[in-house]
Structure formats: structure tokens, C-alpha cells
Amino acid sequence: MNLPDEKGYFGNYGGRFVPETLISALYELEEGYGESKKDPGFIRELEYYLENYSGRPTPLYFASRLTEKLGGAGIYLKREDLNHTGAHKINNTLGQILVAKKMGKKRIIAETGAGQHGVATATVAARFGLQCAIYMGEEDIKRQELNVFRMKLLGAEVIPVATGSRTLKDATNQALRDWVSNVETTHYIIGSVVGPHPYPLMVRDFQAVIGRETKKQVLEIENDLPDYLVACVGGGSNAIGFFHPFANDNKSKMIGVEAAGKGLSSSCHAATLNGGSPGVLHGSFSYLLQDAAGQITEAHSISAGLDYPGVGPEHAYFKETGRVTYQAVTDEEALKAFLLLAECEGIIPALESAHALAYLEQLIPSTTKNETVVVCLSGRGDKDVAMVSEILKGAV
Amino acid sequence: MNRIESTFKEVKNSGAKGIITYLTAGYPGLETTEELVMAMAESGVTMVELGVPFSDPVADGPVIQAASMRSLQNKTTLADVLSLSKRLREKLTIPLLIMTYYNPVYAYGVERFVGEVKNSGIDGVIVPDLPLEESDWLAGKLQKENIHFIYMLSPTSTRQRMITTVQKATGFIYCVSTAGVTGTRDAIPKEGLSLLARIRELTELPLALGFGISTPQQVASLGDGADAAIIGSAIIKLIDQGGNKEQIKDRMKTYLGEFMSKGRFF
């Protein structure tokens, strides 16, 4: 069955839980995206920019020293960190800005946590000459000065959000309020597979290039499908894009790794699927972190990109069907994996991606040497270097 | 006939405009909310909407957002607002509505919510993040208990949505004056007035206009278009000015008095 259904549901999850004012914009977007994806001109244009602007296809790299060190299955890394702007985020922003242009929108807005999606949005807005405003929580602005400056360099206006917890969730609320107020002229580029239908579908489709390339590359090298796919899950866009083309290949087991922060039993984590419960946030029904009265609670993770109290509805569906297993690793485990990859492969991963790598410590002992694992290395870690240095007090 | 229907009938017969007031329950405290609702009723408001605070109120502007945050700091829950309604119902004859985002309802349990809404003597429920696409389940359960699920229409709603909405709606239709969030504005936007005219062509149901309304002059400018005006952020601002309960109540009575003398008749 092709999901989501026409109401935007993946099984029980998804939908369009938004104020009436936004509904017409969601239908307009559904139609605009639906036409784009059938238009050979649109597909060619997107492919052109993915190839020549972002640098796709990204390599599938055999991490031989890491493989040797962990002593089990062969480990490949899908190098999304080598994309322009340093992460998979641009796959989605390129796709959405082309849709926005086709729909005649003049202005782009987006939410950002650490600033990666904000930078990827500001980048494409600059390239296509559209006005751009990025909502960012005041707390995050303080923590991510460099990305704020990057967005400004790229011509975007960065709007501080002082409400609620002053982080990504509140930036998303504010972006939704802006969209409600400027819906005729403005397209809202949501950064993950969250939000009301058609966003989880559209963002998944734009990110599925990760999985399509991986499949082709791994078949060329190994002449077989991988045994395991591992990706980190915050909102879940790199994971969905990576997993989706393999969804019907039962040979490949898929594992999504959430941020356990200071531990699942502490209240300081961002593991929505492992430690949350179903509910409605930001336009869709999925898993979220909430208290007994249905108020959304704050997430915590060392990785700002995973620090979100919701998750894409398709992940909730995959959890329910069991097609994907969701695990969680702590801040400490992620930090260890961050250091390990830098040391033995010369690649500094984003702290988000380090969560996927950290899970290998648990997975690899149960594998054999003739099996293969592919990890989605969703972004590079330059953005995290200052913070890690602070945590380690400069000593590695 | 539900209280909302009979009240709108009386309003129509009197030739006046209904005044619906909104309060975020639990701001600055539940006790004050209770007294303020009584004061509003004494001032002659047509019905009262009790807002349930939510951590992520996407349809609300800064004034109601801040009130929600303050109320949540007081740990106000949906259950608290339901028992407040029950206490108010024993003292009040005007209709009471509850306005809540969907997640607190889902967490409470939809069936339990409907049961408690009925027990608390609430006459209507407004859920701003449940559009037509998602509301059939809750609306059906409420309507079975003779409680109105209040549908919203906005200037961006298509004609087809208006037709579907007026077929499903009971009680009244909540018309959103502008594509935007809650908060006071200087005048009623043209798009709000034309929205009223477009809906009026399709239904006899009472129309209440909300978002941005704060003055009797604005209410008077609605003409025949609307049967009632909904005032929210302006009410919260009166509370924001601070003071003790009596001072807030007096301020509220003075403010609403203006509407009763000037705004209700045209």
C-alpha cells in the first residue's frame, strides 16, 4: 500500500491538525508538489542542482579501520556530510524551493534549532533570489552564533523567538504563526518529515535520494543488499530518506537511533519513540514528549539537531509495524563515537550522526564479518567542534 | 434546544449583537477566573469561552500566548478547567464554551472528555487545531450529547469548505476576521467582512466574528454581517494591567459596560 493515504495518514499517524486558515495552503502545496513531481522539467532541474550545486551523488565509503576496530560486519558510511552546507538538509530545501518557485511564492520562512536547516534554507533562498526569514529560539541563537552569522551572510533575516522554551519547538510555533498571517505570499520550508500533510510525504520524497543512491552503490560493491541500515532520528528526515527505498527489502534490517540524552529514565532526553507517547504537535499525530495533562515537555540532547519533542509520523508507523527498530544512545555514548570516528577514519561527524555511529558498539558484536552495515553519516561535525572542545575542556 | 441556540434566538429578537468573551482559565489564577466570569455575566455578556492553556498555542498571538504560559506555571490542567466550568454552571445561566487545543483533550481521553463536558454543563467546544479534516470523530460524539462542536471558517476557506462546514455546523460558526493569529487590531479587516457576507449566503446559523476585536466601534461596524463578536486578547490585556481581583473586576465591568451601551445596538 502506498502511504500516506489521501488524508495524509501513515496507518494511525499523520493528518492535518492545523488552524482552518492554513488548510487551503496545505491543499495548494499538495497540488503544487503533486504537479512538480510529475513534471520532467522539474525533475531535471532538481537533479541538476543536486548534482552541480550540492555535489551528489555522495560517496558510499567503506570505513575499513572502524570495521577492523569493531571486529564484525563491514561498515559503510553514506557520506551526506559531503553535501553543500555540510548535511543532508539541502536535499529537502532544494526540492522545496523549486516547488515554492513554481507556485509563485515570493517569500520563504523556516524554523531552525542548531541552525543547520536555517543555513540550508538561507542558502537556497540566496541562490534563487527569494526573501527569507528564519525563526530561531533565543536560547539556540546564543548557542549557535556562527550559524546565525552564516544565515545573515546568506541574506536571511534571523528572527529571535522569546516564547516558551525558546528553542526549536517554539521557533516552529512562530514559523507556523507567520505562515498563518502571510499564507498568500509565503512558503514555509519545514526542515524535517514532521508537520501536517503533505510535509512528511514531500520531505521524505526529497530525502529518499539518500536511500536510492545507497542501494545502487551497495549493490555495485557488494552485489547484495546490506544486512543493516542505521540512522539517527530526531524529526527523522535523514533516516526516512535513507530507509524508505529499502522498506520492501526484508533482508535489510533498519535501526533508527534516538537521543537518550542523560538516559531514558531521566527526564532529560529526546527519545520520542522510546520514551514518549502518541499525541498531536505541529500539525500531525505522532509520538511526542508530553506530561500527563498533554502539555509538550522539553527535549534534551547534546545534539541540537535531535533536540525536538516530536518525530515524523511515518516513524511512528514504522515503530508500530516493526519494520524499523528504534534504539537510543546517550550523550556520552554519542560523544565517544564522535571521537572514535575522528580518530580512526579522519572524519569528524555531526553529533547527530554520532548517535547512529554510537549504536554500532551494541550492534556489531552480534554480527558476522560477511555481513554489511550502512550508517547514514547525515552531517559533518565542524559545527560541533567548539562545543565538544568546551565539554572536554580542550583535552582529547 | 441547547442553551447556545436559545441564547442566539433571544439576541436576534432583541436586535442586539451578542458579545462573547474569552478568558485563559488559570490566569492569573483559577479563583480569579471564576470571579471574572461571574463579573462578565453580570455585565451582560452573551456567553463566555474558557480557554484551556496549552504549551504550543499556534493559533494565538503574543497576548494569549503569555496568558497561557502564566496559567501553565500555575499548573492549570484541562481537568481543572472542567471542574471550574461545573462550579460556574451552578451559578450561571448563560452558555459556557471551552476552547482547547487538541492534545490536552487527546491526553485526557476523548470519551472521558465528552462525558465530563456534559457533566460540567458546557454547551460548546472550540478546538482551533481540529479543522474539518480531523474533527468528525470528536464533533460527532459531542453532538450526540447535544453539545455543539463549533466550526471555524477563515478568509482563506474555499466556497466548497464553507458549504461542507455549514452542513455540519450547529450552534454558531466562529468566523476568523483575518488570516492571522489572535490579537487586537485597529479595524475589522475587509476580508473579515466579506467572509461574513460569503457565509451568510449559505446559512441561517448565527455567525460570530473573532480575532482582532476590542472596541464597541468595531462591533458596531459589523452591521448585519455578524450576530456576535468574540473578544479575547483585549480581555486578557485588562488582566495584564494587574492589581487585585476587585480592581480587575472593576476594570472588566467598565470595559464591558461600554459595549453594552454603545456596541450592542446599531
Which of A16, A21, A190 should be substituted to probe chain B, the one whose Cβ sees the most B Cβ atoms within 10 Å?
A21
Residues of chain A with pLDDT under 70: 1
Predicted confidence band of residue B260 (pLDDT cuts 50, 70, 90): confident
The CATH number that applies at residue B30 is 3.20.20.70
* Residue B111 pLDDT: 97
Give the residue numbers spanning the domain of B246. Answer: 17-258
Q: ipTM of the assembly? A: 0.96
Four-residue CA torsion sign, A269, A73, A342, A77: negative
- Which of A181, A283, A294 lies closest to B181 in CB terms? A181
* Predicted pLDDT of residue A145: 87
φ, ψ at A226 (rounded to 5°): -70, 155
What is the CA B115 to chain-centroid distance, rounded? 21
pLDDT value, residue A164: 83
pLDDT at B262: 62
A280 min Cα distance to partner chain B (Å): 5
The answer to the question of residue B92 being in a domain is: yes
CB contact under 8 A, B56 and A164: yes
Q: At a CB cut-off of 8 Å and minimum separation 6, what does B50 contact?
A: B23, B25, B33, B37, B81, B84, B85, B96, B97, B98, B99
Instruction: Give the position of cell 502506498.
Output: A2
In a domain, B264, yes or no: no
CA distance to partner chain A, nearest, from residue B103 (Å): 5
Please give, rounded to a whole number of angstroms, the shortest distance from the CA of B102 to a CA of chain A.
Answer: 7
Over residues B197-226, the mean pLDDT reads 94
Domain count, chain B: 1
The lowest-confidence range among A237-251, A364-378, B135-149, B211-225 is B211-225
Residue B1, in any domain of the structure:
no
Write out the DSSP string of A138-153: HHHHHHTHHHHHHHHH
Which positions in chain A touch B69 (Cβ < 8 Å)? 163-164
| Average pLDDT along chain B | 95
DSSP-assigned letters across all residues of A307-319: --SB--HHHHHHH
Confidence (pLDDT) at B264: 63
Query: In chain B, what residues touch A21 (CB-CB under 8 Å)?
Result: 154-156, 176, 179-180
B168 domain residue, yes or no? yes
What pLDDT was estimated at residue B27?
97
- Measured distance CA(B239)–CA(B71) in Å, rounded: 12
pLDDT band with cut points at 50, 70 and 90 for residue B266: very low
**Tens-digit pLDDT profile for residues A274-288:** 999 999 999 999 999
Distance CA A273, CA A257 (A): 10
Is residue A370 within 8 Å of residue A348, measured between CB atoms?
A: no
What average pLDDT does the segment B211-237 reach? 93
pLDDT in tens, A42-101: 999 999 999 999 999 999 999 999 999 999 999 999 999 999 999 999 999 999 999 999
Q: Give residue-wise pLDDT tens across range A289-305.
A: 999 999 999 999 999 89
Best B81, B126, B133 member to test A by mutation, with max A CBs in 10 Å, is: B133
